[in-house]
Every structure is written in C-alpha cells, then in structure tokens.
Chains A and B, each alone.
Chain A
Amino acid sequence: MESSSAALGHPAAAGASAGAAGGGGHHHGPPEAHASSKVDRQVLGMILFIVSEVMLFGAFFAAYFFLRVVVNPEAWPPESVHLPVAIAGINTAILVSSSFTMHYALEGIRRGNHLALKLGLAITWLLGATFLFIQVNEYIHIGFSARDGAFGSVFYGLTGLHGAHVFIGLLLLTFANIRAWRGHFGPAAKEHLGVEIPGIYWHFVDVMWIIVFVTVYIL
C-alpha cells in the first residue's frame, strides 16, 4: 500500500531530501515517486496486464465449461472429432521447455553472462516459433473448422486466443533478441527489464497453454 503523505507546512523538507538525494545539487521536476510495493512500475504494469488477460481467458474457459457441463451434449468432443493428443502433448513439451530456456537466459544475465542470455533467448524464440508452426499445421490437418458446431467454435476460440498470445510473445522476444545481440542488457535488475518483462509474459503464455491443453485435450 502506498503511503499517503501529508507533510505539515514545512517547505524545507522536500528541498532537504532532494538536495541530499542529488548530492547537494538543485533538484528539478517532481520528487521521485514512493515505491512501497518494491515492484518496478514496468513490471507492475505487465502484472496488471496479465491479470486482465487472465479474465479474458476466464471468459473463454467459462464458455467451454458452459457448453460441456451445462449444455452437456451426448459426446464431448463429438464422435467425428479426433484430437491429435500425442502431437499436442509434444507441442506442450516444446512450449514448456521454452520457459526453462527463458529462465536460463535471465539467470545468465543476472550473473553477467551475456552468452547465456543470447543463447537462452534465441532458443526460446525458436521453441516458441516451432510451437506456433506445429499448431498451424494441426489446424490444417485436424479435419474440422470453427464452423463445425459448438466444440469447433470453442476449440478454435481457446487455442486460437492462445496462439495469438504466443505470436505477441514472439514479437516481444524478437525485440529482446535483437537488443541482447546489440548488448543493451546488463546484470543489474534495472538493466535487463527488457528481458524480465517479456519473460513474465512468456511464462504466463506457457501456463495458459498448460491449462488449455489439460482442459481441451486431456479432460
């Protein structure tokens, strides 16, 4: 919780602290914001964005479970539908692996190992792109479309929504890769926010896929 500050009629207070912080120099502009939450504003922004994304996915899952439990059709999925569970399982392993390589990249840069950062980010990007490629390939060969009943709609809705998130994640990783190769990042926390924030997003995307995979393909 941020503190509510109500300094009592003492104009010297702000000036004294500003002077101290600036090594005795003149302070221009507003004072530094308090950060009682101890979270960088950029990280906090991503976390809040993810909270909104959880609600978005929640709406799609609500639709899925409404159709499956409340509408309760005779067969779920319909008998004509054969989901490629094995391929989706391998694809899940590929995507989950990319979270480990992402974490490896960040642990690398935290220790000042730029090679680990570049390697980890590059492999993460490749694994993410492979996942997306396999998913598109699955769409081509799966044998039903979003128009084929409620199951088709909700299947493509959930997996498509997730695929869009993987695509956005790949864009973020592309920028992180380029910046890593150009030497923009350093070991201090503030020096690699450009990897930390896409990393949080990427883990979220992976967690959502685990839930989508278990819900749609397994249960």
Chain B
Amino acid sequence: MHNPMRSEAEAFRWLVVILAGALTVIALTLLTRPLVGAIWALVLIVAGLAMALRDSRGTEHGPLAVTRGGDGRHRVLALANQTVRSPALLEQLAESTRERRAEIRVVVPALPGSRAELWASDTDEATELARQRMELCVLDLREAGHRANGAVGDSDPSVALADALAEYPADEIVISTLPPGRSRWLDERVVERAREELSLPVRHLVWDPEAKRATPG
C-alpha cells in the first residue's frame, strides 16, 4: 500500500476530480432538492474513497539507484526468502565468486504472515524469522570460505532490493525463488522488473524444496 497523494501534481488531480464531483452535486441540488444532492454527494464520497483505496494498492516503484563500487572487489547481492539456504543458491554464489576477490550480501525480506499483520506493522516475528534465515545463510557462506554479510529487507522484495542497492555497490544480483505457481515474487514480476530496470546482471534461480532440485529461471 502506498500514499495516493505524493506531489503537487497528484494533489491538483484530486482537486480537479473533487471539483467535477462538486459541480454535479450543485447542479443536481439546484435542479431537484437538497436531499437528492446530499445523497449524490454521499455516493460520490464513497466512490472517491474506493478510488483512493484502489490507487493506493501495491507499492509505488521508482527507478532503482545503483551504488557503484570501485575497489576491485566483485560484489554479489543475493535476494531470497524461503530458498535462502538452498544448496542451489550456495552453489550459484560460489560460482559467481570463484577465483576472484569477492563479497556476498544476502538480503532476506521480512514477510509478514498476513495482510492484517502488514497493516498493523506487526512485523516483529517476520523480521526475526528473516534475520534467522539470513544469519544461517551468512554462516554457511562464511564456513565455505566466502566473505559474506547480510541484511533484513522490506516486506516488498523489490523495495528490499532497491534499499540494498542504494547502499551496497553490487556488481551482480542473484534472486532465488520457489517454482512458478508457488512463488508470489514471480507473480509480482520481481525478477522481470529487476532485469528491466537494472543495468547489472540479474540471475534467477528456481529451487523446488519438495523435489530438492534447481532449475534456471
């Protein structure tokens, strides 16, 4: 959910819409009686609220800002949630960093269990779960000899990616998801959008935990 009024231009658009609605109320009242105008005004208010609710659905995605490195170290940003400890992701990260000075950052979005939890900002449990997943993955990577660190990200994976890129100079991105049909991230076009908006290489890895096998995205 996002704020439907974020600038003067949007405030002006709302003013024009409200003005148009008010003119119909005035016309109806003058042509009939105040009660009819009042009922019509109520209808318009309800419709306006519904429109505002519809406009505010989802997250407003702006252009992604990429931070550039420069110390010669190859930096890989891994975005994953349920598949963050999959052998396939660890293998892919090992492949991406093989035989070069490299660093890996693992970002795990904190996904609330329900929409009610999201609206109530009741994200403590989700944040803790994401932190545990991220820390275990980082420990796995460090045990395998990699230089690795991690962060818990926003509940929206695209926003988590944008936030991470704003401060982490990644050279490559690896996004790990569940298979199509079971992955909400794929429904939300997280990988496609990252590929469209970023000039960095974006690898997509699909891990099926039941079949315990990976397929390239």
Tell me which of A9, A200, A210 contacts B8 (CB under 8 A): A200
What is the CB-to-nearest-CB distance from A198 to chain B, in angstroms, rounded to a whole number? 9
Residues of B within 8 A of A99 (CB): 12, 15
Does B151 sit at the interface, judged by CB under 8 A?
Answer: yes
Chain A, range 10-38, C-beta contacts under 8 Å to B: 10, 12-14, 16-17, 19-21, 24, 31-32, 34, 36-38
A96 touches B19 (CB 8 A): yes
Q: How many interface residues does B have (CB within 8 Å)?
A: 57
Tell me which of B26, B138, B163 contacts A218 (CB under 8 A): B26
B37 touches A218 (CB 8 A): yes
Given contacts A10-B149, A37-B3, A39-B3, contact A3 B163 (CB under 8 A): yes
Residues of A within 8 A of B153 (CB): 3-5
Q: How many interface residues does A have (CB within 8 Å)?
A: 48
Q: Which residues of A contact B (CB under 8 A)?
A: 1-10, 12-14, 16-17, 19-21, 24, 31-32, 34, 36-39, 43-44, 47, 96, 99, 102-103, 106, 195-196, 199-200, 203-204, 206-207, 210-211, 213-214, 218-219
Residues of B within 8 A of A5 (CB): 151-153, 163
Q: Which of B64-72, B88-96, B205-213 touches A?
A: B64-72
B154 touches A2 (CB 8 A): yes
What is the CB-to-nearest-CB distance from A93 to chain B, in angstroms, rounded to a whole number? 10
What is the CB-to-nearest-CB distance from B113 to chain A, in angstroms, rounded to a whole number? 15
Residues of B within 8 A of A196 (CB): 7-8
A218 touches B159 (CB 8 A): no
A214 touches B25 (CB 8 A): yes
Residues of A within 8 A of B15 (CB): 96, 99, 203, 206-207, 210
What is the CB-to-nearest-CB distance from A32 to chain B, in angstroms, rounded to a whole number? 8
